[in-house]
């Protein structure tokens, strides 16, 4: 009979325990995953989340179950076990604008998550009713500066469209020092008309009850094509193929102007790097030069397909951008 020393047993136990996490990662995924979508079912964010869940599930060989929640879903995801089995849909509202509106937010988008993959960006479109005399962004700016208060816009409080308008006003406002030491400022004098949701706001613009609004491209493109609305500009850096005749604000004289909606996939901080790398790889494969990519682009989306490092840096810049806009505009947290 051979005897093994206590020291040898301890060493063996150490190596067994040390190897368990690696073994667990090698077998990942061994069960279904869940994707928390902090939005109700049926909206554009939900639809994009479900597309990602389906494609990722096919690539991994395990189903990715969608779990629709309210805004608390992002906080729940931040506190979930970082084992690779919980993912969350990240986006401009929950992971950038929310920080600008609420300094006491109960999660930190840069500390509580590892951001894995950005799927897409979607521009807002500045539209006016068919009966509006405004034919271009330049005309709008000229009237807004010359006759402050004359032009109105439909405003859904703290929405991406509302903040895009605030960014436009801040971008166009100019100040010069007068001869007597006074500071003279020219602003874009638009008056917001409050609405409770995007649909009633859009209906009001089409009925000439509000002069204009920023809203998502997919919501307005059919009305632009039918002639019920006129599109003056898009908020992406470049023109969108779905409205190819409509200039971007950036190319219309305000270089670098950008205010887009975006979505991607993130996971709780501490998720194993090997798992993050696998998801990143599979998502990249699913959405680069594939039929599903073409389908998304046909809806007016820009498929970014950026990986973890780029997505993380992008979110950091978006948080900074919207914090500045909200602070200058004095936008308050929605009640």
What was the pLDDT predicted at 325?
A: 96
pLDDT tens-digit map of 30-75: 999 999 999 999 988 999 999 999 999 999 999 999 999 998 999 9
Residues 143-188: pLDDT tens digits? 999 999 999 999 999 999 999 999 999 999 876 566 666 666 678 8
CB-count burial class (<10 Å; 0-12, 13-18, 19+) for 173: middle
57 lies in the same domain as 102: yes
In a domain, 198, yes or no: yes
253-to-247, 257, 298 alpha-carbon distances in Å:
10, 9, 27
Give me the number of domains the chain comprises: 2
Residues 96 and 130 in one domain: no
Task: Give the model confidence (pLDDT) of 74-108 as tens digits.
Answer: 999 999 999 999 999 999 999 999 999 998 999 99
Which domain does 52 fall in, by range?
A: 31-122+261-329
**160-172 helix and 308-329 helix, angle to the nearest 10 degrees:** 70
> Does one domain contain both 229 and 118?
no
Domain co-membership, 229 together with 134 = yes
Do 107 and 151 share a domain, yes or no? no
């Amino acid at each position: 009979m051979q005897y093994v020393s206590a020291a040898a047993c301890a060493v063996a136990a150490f190596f067994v325990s040390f190897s368990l996490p690696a073994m667990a990662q090698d077998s990942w995924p061994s069960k279904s995953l869940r994707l928390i979508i902090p939005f109700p079912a049926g909206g554009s964010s939900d639809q994009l989340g479900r597309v990602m869940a389906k494609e990722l599930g096919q690539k991994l060989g395990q189903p990715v179950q969608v779990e629709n929640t309210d805004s608390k879903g992002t906080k729940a995801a931040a506190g979930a076990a970082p084992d690779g089995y919980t993912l969350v849909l990240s986006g401009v509202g929950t992971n950038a604008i929310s920080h600008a509106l609420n300094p006491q937010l109960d999660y930190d988008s840069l500390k509580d998550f590892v951001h894995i993959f950005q799927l897409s960006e979607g521009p807002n479109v500045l539209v006016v009713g068919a009966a509006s005399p405004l034919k271009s962004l330049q005309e709008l700016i000229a009237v807004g500066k010359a006759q402050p208060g004359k032009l109105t816009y439909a405003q859904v409080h703290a929405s991406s469209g509302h903040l895009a308008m605030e960014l436009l006003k801040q971008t166009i406002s100019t100040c010069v020092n007068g001869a007597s030491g006074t500071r003279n400022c020219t602003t874009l004098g638009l008056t917001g008309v409050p609405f409770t949701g995007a649909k009633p706001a859009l209906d009001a613009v089409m009925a000439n009850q509000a002069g204009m609004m920023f809203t998502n491209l997919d919501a307005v493109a059919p009305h632009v094509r039918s002639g019920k609305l006129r599109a003056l500009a898009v908020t992406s850096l470049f023109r969108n193929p779905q409205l190819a005749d409509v200039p971007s604000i950036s190319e219309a004289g305000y270089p670098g102007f950008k205010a887009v909606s975006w979505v991607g996939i993130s996971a709780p901080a501490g998720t194993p790097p090997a798992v993050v790398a696998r998801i990143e790889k599979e998502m990249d494969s699913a959405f680069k030069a594939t039929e599903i990519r073409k389908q998304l682009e046909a809806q007016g989306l820009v498929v970014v397909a950026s990986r973890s490092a780029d997505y993380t840096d992008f979110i950091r810049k978006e948080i900074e951008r919207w914090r500045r806009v909200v602070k200058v505009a004095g936008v308050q947290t929605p009640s």
